[in-house]
Structure 1
Amino acid sequence: MGNGMNKVLPGLYVGNYRDSKDPLQLEKYKITHILSIHDAARRIHATVYVAEVALYKQLVPKVLVL
């Protein structure tokens, strides 16, 4: 990652926090919903539905990174 969002399945993209704030990418890929999982979740959009899940490292001993 680091070069924009990556398509996982039709209609499902994975990206980083910077990608989620980029209105050009959101428009290009017709993003209407964002699932944000990290340790500093905060609302960044008024027009996109955002589900935020706080991830605390002390509660999750191992996170699988692909």
Structure 2
Amino acid sequence: MQKYFHHDVYLVHRIDRPVSGLVLFAKNTRSAAWLSELFRSKELDKTYLAIVENEPPHTSGSLVSRIIEKKQG
């Protein structure tokens, strides 16, 4: 990213493992801290859109998945 933008960029949040989408970067540490605080305080949140083949049985639900794989043994 640094080569492309010709200056440092700062990761603000990550993408959850079972989804794809946008990643938010900041141009400086001040902006990164501000945006991170908005996520932490729930003033800014992530929205997920599911594209499905058939009509789901319920109008809402939850996707529960581990962020990291649990080691065997």
TM-score interval (norm. to shorter) = under 0.3
**TM-score with structure 2 length normalisation?**
0.21
Q: Which has the larger radius of gyration?
A: 2
**Structure richer in strand, relative to its length:** 1
